[in-house]
Structure 1
């Protein structure tokens, strides 16, 4: 059953990369795929990253994209990786790819490849913002314990116009009882604080979904948890 909240949006900003999206281990694995992994384990982090970026830049752009996608998406077939690595140069896969659960990976792939090639690839567009949620009954806040991502996407959807892309593509999930795609819409979702009837969350997502909230300060919203407890 939907419950009502007051929602305040704060410290909204645009981002083109997610901090710490790439680790030393990621760079080592990328180098291994390129066959350049000998003697790198003891290398300083900054030097390892620079070597990885230069090694990617030594390749053709689509070949570098193939290396990055192979590392990120082991579940995709080699033929699909080949196709996507060619399509990436002209497309915006962090928005356009059919499976939104892969959007965050594409976003970080574009950020890395764009830096390695000083352009060529489109600049990824994301958003980071704070969400303060206030309930009239403390029990209503438990929906965020039951299915955090689904409940938050439904909540934020209330702040968008009815013709927003999120509504057009996922209205059945927003109004329904299952929203498995929610984790692909909210890339990072962190509970920052909880006090009385209020909770604060930090959100990282795509400008594609929530860019329109940039000029929104507050709104009344309804939300509900998934019926399944297996989402999170």
Structure 2
């Protein structure tokens, strides 16, 4: 199916509002030995957590947040290694498991803000776009793969996704990594979407066209019989 893609905005984010919930803050405060965290006003949770974090050495604080968020995905040894490495390198961009890039970004930025820049600053990219199908008889909601492949024609040739996943973006190979490269994709009505990813994968400067065309056939799973 042919689409007309219009880029409505592309912006750089140093943090994603709403990622950390009040319950996250309470549980993290408890890990950092803050008493009676559940009784604290929600408006002050983030500020109190930042203060509690800085009572620890940066690598110790990193290990505690990593353990809280990624204990199901990382071993104790990996957490120890990453907690030290992330003080020097952009681990949320360099870690070989792409599916962990998003949580590592959010962890990094929490620590970056608390420690006033002792951790490298990493950034996200949020793109708002419309993908209007040539034939509007089918109300298809794009997948993350579909969104990336449709955006391909509007991206610079130096874009990292295009360089590393050329065949996948062209549709000649399956593209399972698209689900990890795109952190979030929200349809907001009238064929409009909000896409969130790392600046590492897709920067604001990578967007070199505002209106362009693309082709993508979304695979629709057959419905089960009642």
Shared topology, TM-score over 0.5?
Answer: yes
Matching residue within 194, 200, 212 for 2:192? 200
**How far does the alpha carbon of each residue in 1:78-114 deviate from its partner, in whole angstroms, 9 at most, with x for none?**
1001111111011112221112211111111121111
Counterpart residue number, 1:189: 185
Deviation at 1:150, TM superposition (A): 1.5
Q: For residues 122 and 183 of structure 1, do their structure 2 counterparts lie closer, same or farther at Cα, with a shift above 3 Å needed? A: same
Q: In the TM superposition, what are the counterparts of 1:41-190 in structure 2 within 5 Å?
A: 41-74=38-71, 75-139=73-137, 142=140, 144=142, 148-174=143-169, 175-176=171-172, 178-190=174-186
User: Is 1:220 aligned with 2:216?
Assistant: no
Q: 1:224 to 1:100 in 2, by over 3 A?
A: farther
**Residue of structure 2 equivalent to 1:40:** 37
Within 1, Cα distance between the matches of 2:152 and 2:141?
Answer: 16
- Local SS of the residue matching 1:66: helix
Aligned pairs, number: 219
Q: 2:105·2:122 contact (CA, 8 Å) conserved in 1?
A: yes
The C-alpha deviation readout for 1:110-165, integer Å capped at 9, x for no partner, is 21111110111111211112111121112565262xxx112112112232244531
Aligned with 1:209 (options 193, 201, 210): 201
1:41 counterpart SS class: helix
Corresponding residue for 1:5? 3
TM value normalised by structure 1: 0.85
Task: Provide runs of 4+ in structure 1 moved above 6 Å.
Answer: none
Q: Which moved more, 1:219-228 or 1:48-57?
A: 219-228
**Cα pair 1:177 1:225 within 8 Å, conserved:** no
Alpha carbons of 1:7 and 1:41: their partners in 2 closer, same or farther (altered >3 Å)?
same
> Alignment RMSD, CA only?
2.2
> 2 CA distance for matches of 1:179 and 1:130?
22
Q: Which consecutive residues of structure 1, in runs of 5 or more, have no partner in the other structure?
A: none
Query: Which sits farther off after the overlay, 106-115 or 204-213?
Result: 204-213
- d(CA) in 2 for partners of 1:142, 1:41: 43
- The SS at the match of 1:208 is coil
Answer whether contact 1:158 1:222 (CA < 8 A) is retained.
no
> 1:48 deviation in Å?
2.5
Deviations 1:28-61 (A, max 9, x none): 2212333x25422121013332221111111111
